[in-house]
Structure 1
């Protein structure tokens, strides 16, 4: 039990928010009389929060380096507007248009990363200026009007579903197959990780707890894919999110660049003295944020089937809140991609549940604000306790 207690304490923020997410789901499942976890509502939850989760993945990297990005909502709106110009007005095929928009996002990120990393202007100021600049450019590009509709192929990003290659009629069999494959991969990863920890005499969960954890993971994944399979299957945007989560988790945990990001946020001077190219790391983190903001903007535009001047409003605040609620430290150097996604889901489930229950937007905003405040306060409390 001492080992279990120590492992929980070492991962208190992330494990705590995962438990909190489960409790919030249970609470609203009861309050909504079972509506929350119906297949249609779960699918809507994924579609409604996908663009915020994409931003949260990029934002947590920015926050880990000790910076902030207030411009992502405006960048998403601007890139969405440009995508509408390319596809709707210029009739460019969606594939090259999407690539051009992602490159535009990278250029925007490079522009902001240059001022932050090399000119040493605080990220708060640079991205605040970017928020105003790209919101203005969005209004100019759209001339104050919405542009629609997008081509059908582009709309499939947000409204499409993975086709069932097995031809299921009342049940999407391919979704069940994907769930089983994911389960096997995660079980293999967990067993391999445990064996490596044992090899180097690290503390691990007792075998009983470990087996219970594996059973819980397999049950959760297959229950989730079964619920989706009873509707239309796995949405395309969920597969995009899955690729991003796996890819960025690998980068942050297994690559030199990921370790450098943590080093820069933990202690920039020490990282520089250790040979880390701190300016380059910061620059590329902002480039990455620009690309993900562009992707988020296109996902949102595809969901609306229109580019609108008001798109992206307050997206940056939701992404920042997701990162902090998911365990990122306000001081930098701490945070995970999975934690940011969990934080985004906490906000998304709360929004959805409160809307179903009938709480007004005023109450929703107030409750979200309190959740963010308590999450950051919890982080500071833990930091002060560990340093005392």
Structure 2
């Protein structure tokens, strides 16, 4: 899936410095300004609209404290997979094996903990080790043998599903000890009190909202300093306030349910770490460079093979994390676990703004894309929509998201 188009930096939306100056000074053509702002903030607007739509269609049930908690618990492993998948896609590849890796790592953990009676934490370590080994296996064939990732991971999907069946002996294993179940079903509450709500959850929500605002402001200042295009200041403020309000509402609902889910803390740490990794490190910028323009990256001295190898090692690690979370939530390991998870992760990345040709995408965007899929699935389930219709709707949303990306690229190319 690698391409030879112009490289795109993680925070860069256009290479036209004159357009950048016009954009943040407010002298750009109104239609162009609207389209650029839509590309930058459209995913957040779409998320809010979808949340509001299902809140109306379900008479507010979708926004109830209990249901919001269930969304976090039910779709956390897909969001973890989306983090790794968007990095792989930015690098110009794809990974079709993650669902099978989720099943295999969960199976290994179950055998270690349930069947062999070892401590729960040893099962987690074993699962992570297997995930890293699987990632190294894929990375070797892609980076050093030169086989396309599509073929390697398609083979991996079959290979590791078969190994899952062998490890489990075609049977399910359960239950896990209570400590293991806490990974996906545990909550932190009552740490600092609260009258009818968990004040600690609200505090974490306020910190998250403030962190988002500060990070957004710093990114905007940096872009303006280097004459890169930014959204208009009123839209920037509106976006920050909107996202902050969503975060605080989300925290308020969790605080009135069971408190802060442990799995949400794990997910938040992963999002922060990988957002910094992709934006602020040499490795992250090299991933964007490889996906944006492979030839230019090689000529610039990027060690393409090494970067590709570690991309898949990272994907294997995150698939193992998702495997631990999923097996913890289901309180066991099943041969069919993780079925079609790879498609949900890929959909989250593309809906969140990743480009099919590589070089474009963000971790935060993938999270929003995953949440859109989660809210849609949950909302349609609450409405009693038939499973076949749910698949049709989700397929159309994915198609429209990619079509919107292609449309924007064609318009951008026509205006240069």
Q: With structure 2 as the length reference, what TM-score do the two structures score?
A: 0.89
Counterpart check, 1:166 vs 2:192: yes
Whole-Å Cα distance in 1 between the matches of residues 239 and 46 of structure 2?
17
More displaced 10-residue stretch of structure 1: 130-139 or 188-197? 188-197
Specify the alignment match of 1:75 in structure 2: 101
Residues 373, 205 of structure 1: alpha-carbon distance in 2 compared, 3 angstrom cutoff:
closer
SS at the partner of 1:167?
coil
Specify the alignment match of 2:50 in structure 1: 24
Whole-Å Cα distance in 2 between the matches of residues 14 and 260 of structure 1?
22
Deviation at 1:12, TM superposition (A): 3.9
SS at the partner of 1:335?
coil
Q: Given that residues 105 and 127 in structure 2 are in contact (C-alpha distance below 8 angstroms), is that contact kept between their aligned partners in structure 1?
A: yes
Deviation at 1:40, TM superposition (A): 0.4
Specify the alignment match of 1:237 in structure 2: 263
Deviation at 1:97, TM superposition (A): 2.3
Whole-Å Cα distance in 1 between the matches of residues 229 and 359 of structure 2?
23
SS at the partner of 1:36?
helix
Specify the alignment match of 1:66 in structure 2: 92
Specify the alignment match of 2:360 in structure 1: 334
More displaced 10-residue stretch of structure 1: 242-251 or 211-220? 211-220
Whole-Å Cα distance in 2 between the matches of residues 232 and 342 of structure 1?
23
Deviation at 1:374, TM superposition (A): 1.5
The answer for unaligned runs of 5 or more in structure 1 is: none
SS at the partner of 1:170?
coil
Report Cα offsets for 1:141-192 as digits up to 9, x if no partner. Answer: 1111110000111111110012321133521111111122223333333343
Q: Given that residues 325 and 375 in structure 1 are in contact (C-alpha distance below 8 angstroms), is that contact kept between their aligned partners in structure 2?
A: yes
SS at the partner of 2:48?
helix
Whole-Å Cα distance in 2 between the matches of residues 214 and 153 of structure 1?
38
Q: Given that residues 75 and 135 in structure 1 are in contact (C-alpha distance below 8 angstroms), is that contact kept between their aligned partners in structure 2?
A: yes
Residues 380, 192 of structure 1: alpha-carbon distance in 2 compared, 3 angstrom cutoff:
closer
Q: CA RMSD in A?
A: 1.9
Aligned runs of 1:98-137 on 2, under 5 Å? Answer: 98-137=124-163
Specify the alignment match of 2:283 in structure 1: 257
Residues 345, 273 of structure 1: alpha-carbon distance in 2 compared, 3 angstrom cutoff:
same
Residues 257, 205 of structure 1: alpha-carbon distance in 2 compared, 3 angstrom cutoff:
same
More displaced 10-residue stretch of structure 1: 289-298 or 86-95? 86-95
Report Cα offsets for 1:28-56 as digits up to 9, x if no partner. Answer: 11110111100000011111110101001
1:41 to 67, 74, 89: 67
More displaced 10-residue stretch of structure 1: 206-215 or 275-284? 206-215
More displaced 10-residue stretch of structure 1: 347-356 or 190-199? 190-199
Q: Given that residues 329 and 335 in structure 1 are in contact (C-alpha distance below 8 angstroms), is that contact kept between their aligned partners in structure 2?
A: yes
Deviation at 1:220, TM superposition (A): 2.4
Counterpart check, 1:320 vs 2:346: yes
Counterpart check, 1:85 vs 2:99: no
Whole-Å Cα distance in 2 between the matches of residues 206 and 318 of structure 1?
33
2:296 to 247, 253, 270: 270
Q: Given that residues 113 and 122 in structure 2 are in contact (C-alpha distance below 8 angstroms), is that contact kept between their aligned partners in structure 1?
A: no
Q: Given that residues 37 and 231 in structure 2 are in contact (C-alpha distance below 8 angstroms), is that contact kept between their aligned partners in structure 1?
A: no
Deviation at 1:211, TM superposition (A): 4.1
Q: Given that residues 164 and 175 in structure 1 are in contact (C-alpha distance below 8 angstroms), is that contact kept between their aligned partners in structure 2?
A: no
Counterpart check, 1:54 vs 2:80: yes
Specify the alignment match of 2:334 in structure 1: 308
More displaced 10-residue stretch of structure 1: 214-223 or 140-149? 214-223
Whole-Å Cα distance in 1 between the matches of residues 37 and 90 of structure 2?
16
Specify the alignment match of 2:305 in structure 1: 279
Specify the alignment match of 1:224 in structure 2: 250
Q: Given that residues 112 and 122 in structure 2 are in contact (C-alpha distance below 8 angstroms), is that contact kept between their aligned partners in structure 1?
A: no
Q: Given that residues 78 and 138 in structure 1 are in contact (C-alpha distance below 8 angstroms), is that contact kept between their aligned partners in structure 2?
A: yes
Specify the alignment match of 2:381 in structure 1: 355
Residues 334, 7 of structure 1: alpha-carbon distance in 2 compared, 3 angstrom cutoff:
farther
Report Cα offsets for 1:287-343 as digits up to 9, x if no partner. Answer: 000000111111111000010111000000111111111111111111111111111
Deviation at 1:194, TM superposition (A): 4.1
Deviation at 1:204, TM superposition (A): 5.1
Residues 209, 368 of structure 1: alpha-carbon distance in 2 compared, 3 angstrom cutoff:
closer
Q: With structure 1 as the length reference, what TM-score do the two structures score?
A: 0.95
Residues 186, 378 of structure 1: alpha-carbon distance in 2 compared, 3 angstrom cutoff:
closer
